Structure 1
Amino acid sequence: MEGVAAHQKRKVMVVADPTRESAAALEYALSHAILETDTIILLHVENPNAWKNPIGSLFKWPSLPSSSKVASSPSSEGLGNGAASLGYAGGGGGGEMEFLEALKRACEIAQPKSSVQTERVAIMDGKDKAPIILSHCATLGIDLLIVGQKRTLSNAILGHKRSGSLRGLDTAEYLIENSKCTCVGVQRKGQNAGYILNTKTQKNFWLLA
């Protein structure tokens, strides 16, 4: 992010879901993409009709970046295991923090000078997730969109040589190809091997951690 003026204020949106891909996207954002002058917006698009899987309460997050202030802040004592240790356990209860609030807290610790906001939107009948995200990007004036991306054959070998149609594209691919602001798809490459990044103009770029 060199060359960005110190006074420039951006709005950076991270698509937040209780998945490992989303955790990797936030980890990348906090360690490599976000500046202290930025506003961080965590957007969660939820499907109210989705089946609630009780096994989801056992989900554990990967660690957030150890180089961030999460590890050094006095308020982060006992938080060394990343977002999972912030109290998110999917099912809630027992004083545990809901996952979106846990991620917000992680952002506030890692980037104490940045403003952190959370947004929730429900998928309406017949709607797709990706266009909803793009609509919110336009409404909020987002400058940078970051989304977790699954490693698939299409983006690993073929890249994103697809049409702009949602058909055949996953959410991350659609956002990368159709976002008016810069959109970065993030894949974690092993525990300590960095990230694979995809944008509209740069495919499968390997960024070391």
Structure 2
Amino acid sequence: MEWAARVNSSAAPMNGGDRKRVMVVVDRSREARLAMLWALSHIVHGADILSLILFVPSSPSQHQNPMSAAAVSSASSSLSNSGGLLGRFQMPQEGRSKERKEQRSISELLASLKSLCASRRPEVEVEAMPVEGLDKGMTIVSQARKLEANVLVLGQKKRSLLQRLFNHKTPVEDVTDYCIQNAECLTLAVRKKGKHMGGYLINSRWQKNFWLLA
């Protein structure tokens, strides 16, 4: 297993010992959750750091406005503060209410996933954060570089029959392929095989649709 050998050799010295940072892209989908749990059980070791990253799309106009990052920044801060959502900023009442709702949704999702990981592997250090950007693939690759991730894991959804017949890629597949080809670290796309067939299909830069019976 080429990817498995690379995982084993990817640990870098951190805090005086051999540990690695495993970055997992999360969202509300079943595929992302399964990929997160797979990484937790197959890739992450006790001394490693698990970084859960939630991509939050933004528009070009929002990037020109300093207010654009307020919800994301506040949601990220709230995960490390028991007091809940932080940050108040000047904007119309309706816009402020919408921002708060988005903050709460982001914070609750990340807190829930972080709690799930902690319950499964309490010895593992888990961090969760939203990351805002225009392009999902580029944002993920940039964040992996910023965090100096050793391994990047993404969930992958099975294509429909029509998509397979016409060899049509979904937007999720486009993002996954981009990350696999452009991320500097080892990048794995994970999909559960199916209800009647156990195991997972693993895609990497070196292997396609590797069937892992575990």
TM-score by length of 2: 0.63
Aligned residue among 133, 137, 141 for 1:134: 141
Name the residue aligned to 2:181: 177
Asked if structure 1 preserves the Cα contact closer than 8 Å seen for 2:152 and 2:188, the reply is yes
The CA distance in 2 between the partners of 1:35 and 1:22, in whole Å, is 20
RMSD: 3.3
1:167-206 equivalence runs, <5 A:
170-191=174-195, 193-206=198-211
Asked if structure 1 preserves the Cα contact closer than 8 Å seen for 2:132 and 2:139, the reply is no
1:46-57 equivalence runs, <5 A:
46-47=56-57
Aligned length: 154
For structure 2, the residue ranges without an aligned partner over 5 or more in a row are 60-100
* Structure 1 stretches of 4+ moved >6 Å: none
The CA distance in 2 between the partners of 1:120 and 1:16, in whole Å, is 9
1:74-153 equivalence runs, <5 A:
98-123=108-133, 127-152=134-159
Gap change, CA 1:136 and 1:168, over 3 Å in 2:
closer
Name the residue aligned to 1:24: 34
What is the SS of the residue equivalent to 1:183?
Answer: strand
Quick check: which has more Rg, 1 or 2?
2
User: One-letter code of the match for 2:177?
Assistant: E
Query: Percent same amino acid among aligned pairs?
Result: 34
Q: Deviations over 1:139-169 (max 9, x none)?
A: 110100000012238x989x9xxxxxxx996
Q: Deviations over 1:66-91 (max 9, x none)?
A: xxxxxxxxxxxxxxxxxxxxxxxxx9
Higher helix share: 2
Name the residue aligned to 1:75: none
User: One-letter code of the match for 2:46?
Assistant: E
1:52-71 equivalence runs, <5 A:
none
For structure 1, the residue ranges without an aligned partner over 5 or more in a row are 50-90, 160-166
User: One-letter code of the match for 1:122?
Assistant: E
The CA distance in 1 between the partners of 2:159 and 2:194, in whole Å, is 15
Asked if structure 2 preserves the Cα contact closer than 8 Å seen for 1:11 and 1:142, the reply is yes
TM-score by length of 1: 0.64
Name the residue aligned to 2:21: 11
